[in-house]
Amino acid sequence: MADWKRGVRRVLYPAYEARVLRRMPDTIPKHVGVMLDGNRRWAKAVGRDSAHGHEAGAANIEPLLGWCDEVGIEVVTLWLLSTDNLNRPERELAPLLGIIADAVTSLADQRKWRIHPVGALDLLPAATAERLKAAEEATRDVDGMLVNVA
């Protein structure tokens, strides 16, 4: 990204965040669900491959969780993969599964939030399911917000 774009974001983003916080209702939901969708379409629109789109989407997970944590949300469910995605061609599915496993491992390594994989883990490749379970085990004793990974 061009340096001027980073500069603009660095200046404008705190103002945007403050505005959003001022407009938040008095009651905050206890549980928020987020479907991370559209990464592939975005990548295609900007002339990149789907893996680039999934990586860009994954890069937004931590800031999203930080905002949720900051306002006091107790549980966030991230819908990262549907069973329909498992029918995609291997050349597309393998990078996506790697990106998901890397993102979840990165969240676990930070030890800010408790990671809890949900869904049909038995449908995933064993290596992916094991990494998700390892993230859960590594954060079992963390007192932070619960992050369901679906």
Q: Which residues are catalytic, by number?
A: 37, 85
Measured over the CA atoms of residue 19, residue 36, residue 120 and residue 51, the dihedral's sign is: negative
User: Helix (H) and strand (E) counts for the chain?
Assistant: 6, 4
Contact predicate 85/93, CB 8 Å:
yes
Contact predicate 149/75, CB 8 Å:
no
d(Cα 74, Cα 3) in Å, to the nearest integer?
36
3-state secondary structure of 133: helix
Q: In what order do the strands lie in the sheet with 114-117?
A: 31-35, 75-79, 146-149, 114-117
